[in-house]
Structure 1
Amino acid sequence: MSAVAAADIPAYRLHYGGGWQSPHSARTIEVRSPASRVLLASVPDADAQDVEAAAQAAQAGFERWSRLDVFERARHMQALAALVRQRVPALAELESAVTGRPVREMRAQMGRIPEWIEYFASIALGLEGEANRVKGDIVTLTHQEPYGVCALLTPWNHPILILVKKFAAALAAGNSCLVKPSELAPVSTLVFADWCREAGLPDGVINVVTGGAETGAAVCASPVVQRIDLTGGTATGRRVAAAAGARLVPCTLELGGKAPILVFEDADVDEAASGAVFAAFIASGQTCVSATRFIVAAPIYERFLDAFRARAASLRIGDPADEATDVGPVISQASASRSFEHIEAARAAGARLLCGGDPPTLTAPFDEGFYVPPTIFADVTPDMRLFREEVFGPVVCVTPFRDEAEALALANDSPYALGAAIWTRDVARAHRVSVQVKAGVVWVNDHHKNDPRSVWGGYGESGYGKENGWDALVSYMRKRSVVIRTAPAFDDWFAGGRRYG
């Protein structure tokens, strides 16, 4: 790279306390395009001193923010939503460049970001306390209050969407946020923090430190942090849960998944195949709810395979900035290697390869990118690695079933329980199966649809806690009970009182 070109590469600083801050740490992290490996930016690899400075700024921000009336907080959030809505095209291009996801896909996702901010700003206005007259001439009052500084640990696959899902609920409840984005895609989070400043949010309401695992551990260990919210892998979730448990602070964990898709014999096969391609290969299969295990009724099995293969084979792989691209790269060399390892293991185990499997042939500079083609294996049995392990890439399996009981047994044969989908035109079956399949989010005749009003979260190795909806808002608040005696005189137990207890 020439000196002139190097000078054009942004070198971001940390963003906390309402502005850009020079890091204490001299270490930096390069951010490269997963599509071409071109250097896009560098960010600081924050150390414990950087984290503590940002945490103190977040605490000061909390003192300011929490004292505002909820109507004033809502006005600030609505102003931020309006600014973000104006900048959706720029935000989509930035997200696409850093994550490798097709720009058309990112425009659709970024277009909905303001809705989360507006929704939580609005429903917070409906929060009300409770009052009850109880036994013994007592009135109890219940107040809800924010925790304080909340640590948000966000992933690389949906940097802004997942940040805003957490951030909007936390802020609406009156908290401030200390954010540690993934080191693979940290740039849009830093830019978003500066937009918060520009929109008029008080200093210290959102604070961003960039770095790797050590930075994340320092964030979780900060004595200032009163709540932790992570979206990431199950192994990381266990470490974060242990850190939260050691400090006795609550946490929400949205972790891995191995989503089953049940396709019954009465489903429209062409529609189910179209839905399967969307469910499996949007974001190059890099979402926690990506469809990975297709469990298909034996009478339509081969018809479904033919339709699924034809649709997947037609997807266009290439430059994420090209409007015609359907599938971009996976995020890193490690992700690509893991995907191809699963492909080779499935081949060795005797699974039937329907499409994909080999690296695509692309022209420069995309021949340097981390591309994995949409890959489908049929006749996969529950003992095969591809059926059991999360790939987090565009590699999926298809397994036949004989009856509803076997379909459910196959679907539930997993430690994960985040997302699932059911394709059927039988309303009774849809209801019946949806409450028996192990998943916190179940779609019927669709997939991936998300909304700020739809509760989101799983259990088992997929984590715990909820995003979206009232559940998310109240999870960012704790309740206080105030007990008031209304009797005219104190009932002295030791002087013979009888109403104690």
Structure 2
Amino acid sequence: MTTATDPQVQHYDLHYGGAWQKPLGGNRLEVRSPASRTLLATVPDAGDADVAAAAAAAQAGFETWRAIDPFERARHLRALGELIRSRTGELAELESAVTGRPIREMRAQMGRIPEWLDYFASIALGLEGESNQVKGGLVTLTHYEPLGVCALLTPWNHPILILVKKFAAALAAGNTCLVKPSELAPVSTLLFAEWCREAGLPAGVINVVTGGGATGARICAEPLVQRIDLTGGTATGRRVAAAAGERLVPCTLELGGKAPILVFDDVDIDEAAAGAAFAAFVASGQTCVSATRFIVAAPIYERFLDALKRRAERLLVGDPADPRTDMGPVISAVSRARANEHIAAATAEGARLVSGGRPPDLPALFADGFYVAPTIFADVRPEMRLFREEVFGPVVAVTPFQDEAEALALANDSPFALGAAIWTRDVARAHRLAGKVKAGVVWINDHHKNDPRSIWGGHGESGYGKENGWDALKSYLRKRSVVVRTNPGFDDWFGGGARYG
């Protein structure tokens, strides 16, 4: 097995203030391939002094960045987008190696990263204040201003995509960023900071510290941080929300999910099964909007199950670097154990195993990898653990319904409210249910699709706040009112007779 002394293993420092920085502490974290357990890199486990130094660099960068005209900020973001376009192949290979996501998936995802930089660079130029003449001979003006240093706490499942969704909006608004990537997949974020320097962004605009949960907690408590944006689990979200509340700084939380997929009996079953397989098993089921609860009309229930089973069993599980691979491993031993626990619990509770449920047969190179076969359980009842809890792996539940009212009740029987999908050819039904299903993002006859112009975010145990679109840009800004007296003389209230209003 590869060790930390092997020359091919990369040993990264922190990156803040526009340069690589030696950590002020001595501990390091290993980054291993979830497919083969090969050691890929080590990164610092940042301590208090590292976080304080990176925050100070972000604050110094803010004083420069906020003073730059929005047109110039937009030019910087577009230049970064062009640099990334020239390196999407390199970036996809790195993301695939560290996360275990198939290279075909990562090539498609990395190809879209520059769109977020281009989009927010553009819409920030259209951000305008308002003015109104109001009662009392007054004119009110509104101004937008950046918040300052923004903490971005990003996950391992989409390291660069989710970083750029947050980063592009924050920078376009005039803020700087203090970033803490997941300790499971931190490498591409460190390289992204170096690419920002290469693209000409001023020092201190992006500042990256690596480490575990303690490092994230230090960042949330850092006095210079004026906004916190987390994508992560619901338990972590509660702790981050409490830290933000203690300091009275704004916070966006994109947390867990248990997405319901309603499949009606007027669909093309083969098309719906193809969509279901993609929604459930892309990224090995490791996204917050992964399709995990299929709620299927009784007249087509068994036919849908058969079609989904055929799709699942055709998926090639294996080497993430092979372009033919459809599904790679889950990210860690903990993730694999959680998926296996759900498989065991569903079996014990009487759910019907349709497909999977056993470790996939793989070459010796991947024998130690964290693989879980695509697994489908039918006849899953609402009281079962698999119906209620997030797996974050390729294990899904299928439940029948008799009518539209039952379908909606089953879909909404969850504390999560992030993603949902409705498969039907009935346009009226699609619109009717989209307005009633409990979710912040609803797809009709599709799933997982994302765009910088489409807002993204949920409520309940899925968090609060929005990514993408104007909502995201404005969430990184503070709005103030300036009131100007236009009357020629001051109404002297205490001097005799002036009345307000």
TM-score > 0.5 by shorter chain: yes
**CA shift for structure 1 position 498:** 3.2
The answer for the alignment partner of 2:347 in structure 1 is 347
Q: Do 1:265 and 1:297's aligned partners in 2 also have CA atoms closer than 8 Å?
A: yes
In the TM superposition, residue 122 of structure 1 has moved relative to its aligned partner by 0.4
Alignment partner of 1:368: what SS?
coil
SS for the counterpart of 1:430 is helix
TM-superposed deviation, 1:159 = 0.2
1:477 paired residue number? 477
Provide the rounded CA distance (Å) in 2 between the counterparts of 1:346 and 1:174: 49
Aligned to 1:64: 64
Asked whether the 8 Å contact 2:59–2:176 carries over to 1, the reply is yes
Measure, in 2, the Cα distance between the counterparts of 1:417 and 1:47. 35
The one-letter code sitting in structure 2 at the alignment partner of 1:309 is K
Matches within 5 A, 1:54-203: 54-203=54-203
- After superposition, residues 282-321 of structure 1 pair within 5 angstroms as 282-321=282-321
Alignment pair present for 1:335 and 2:329: no
* Aligned equivalent of 2:397: 397
The aligned amino acid for 2:47 is D
Match status 1:9 vs 2:9: yes
Partner of 1:383: 383
The match for 1:30 is 30
Q: Determine whether 1:237 maps to 2:257.
A: no
Q: 2:265 — aligned with what? A: 265
Contact 1:136 1:499 in 2 (8 A): no
Q: For 1:354 and 1:262, how far apart are their aligned partners in 2?
A: 19
Give the letter for the 2:79 counterpart. Answer: A
User: Is residue 4–residue 39 contact of structure 2 (8 Å, CA) maintained in 1?
Assistant: no
Query: Which stretch has the larger CA shift, 364-373 or 276-285?
Result: 364-373
Residue by residue over 1:372-408, the C-alpha shift from the partner in whole angstroms, topping out at 9 and shown as x without a partner, is 0000000000010000000000000000000000000
Write the distance in 1 (CA, Å) between the matches of 2:218 and 2:61: 19
Segments of 5+ residues of structure 2 without an aligned counterpart are none
Which residue number corresponds to residue 444 of structure 1? 444
Q: Distance in 1 between matches of 2:450 and 2:473?
A: 17
Q: Which residue matches 1:464?
A: 464
Deviation string for 1:23-61 (max 9, x for gaps)? 011010000000000000000000011000000000001
Please tell me whether the aligned partners of residues 3 and 39 of structure 2 are also in contact (alpha carbons under 8 angstroms): no
User: Amino acid of the residue matched to residue 28 of structure 1?
Assistant: R
Amino acid at match of 1:225: V
Q: Counterpart amino acid of 1:433?
A: L
Deviation per residue, 1:195-226 (Å, 9 max, x gap):
00000000000000000011000000000000
Matches of 1:2 and 1:180, distance apart in 2: 26
Q: Tell me if the contact between 1:420 and 1:443 (Cα under 8 Å) persists in the aligned partners.
A: yes
**TM-score, with length taken from structure 2:** 0.99
CA distance in structure 2 between the partners assigned to 1:250 and 1:23 by the alignment? 29
Residue in 2 aligned with 1:420?
Answer: 420
SS at match of 1:446: coil
SS of aligned partner of 1:193:
helix
User: Measured at CA, do residues 98 and 497 of structure 1 come closer, stay the same or move farther in structure 2, by a change above 3 Å?
Assistant: farther
Looking at structure 2, the residues matched to 261 and 426 of structure 1 have their Cα atoms a distance apart, in angstroms, of 16
Instruction: Give the whole-Å Cα distance in 2 for the aligned partners of 1:171 and 1:226.
Output: 14
Assess if the C-alpha contact under 8 Å between 2:93 and 2:103 holds in 1.
yes
Contact 2:2–2:39 (Cα < 8 Å) also in 1 = no
| Runs ≥4 residues deviating over 6 A | 2-5
| Counterpart Cα distance in 2 of 1:219 and 1:25 | 16
Q: Distance in 2 between matches of 1:66 and 1:390?
A: 40
- Give a deviation string over 1:163-216, Cα, whole Å, max 9, x none: 000000000000000000000000000000000000000000000000001100
Q: CA offsets per residue over residues 84-105 of structure 1, 9 Å max, x none?
A: 0000000000000000000000
Is contact 2:154-2:162 (8 Å) kept?
yes
Deviation of 1:361 (Å) = 1.7
**CA distances 1:78-137 after superposition (whole Å, capped 9, x unpaired):** 100000000000000000000000000000000000000000000000001111000000
Please state how far the C-alpha of 1:495 moved relative to its aligned partner: 1.5
CA distance in 2, matches of 1:446, 1:301: 19
Counterpart for residue 360 of structure 2? 360
RMSD value, Cα:
0.9
Letter aligned with residue 189 of structure 1: T
What is the total number of aligned residue pairs between the two structures?
A: 501
> Are 2:4 and 2:42, in contact at CA under 8 Å, matched by a contact in 1?
no
Does residue 21 of structure 1 match 2:21? yes
Measure the CA separation in 2 of the matches of 1:500 and 1:41.
Answer: 68
Shift of the alpha carbon at 1:500? 2.1
Q: Is the 8 A contact 1:401 1:407 kept in 2?
A: yes
TM superposition score normalised by structure 1: 0.99
Alpha-carbon displacement from aligned partner over 1:342-368 (angstroms, at most 9, x marks no partner): 000000111010110001121121111
Matched residue type, 1:102: P
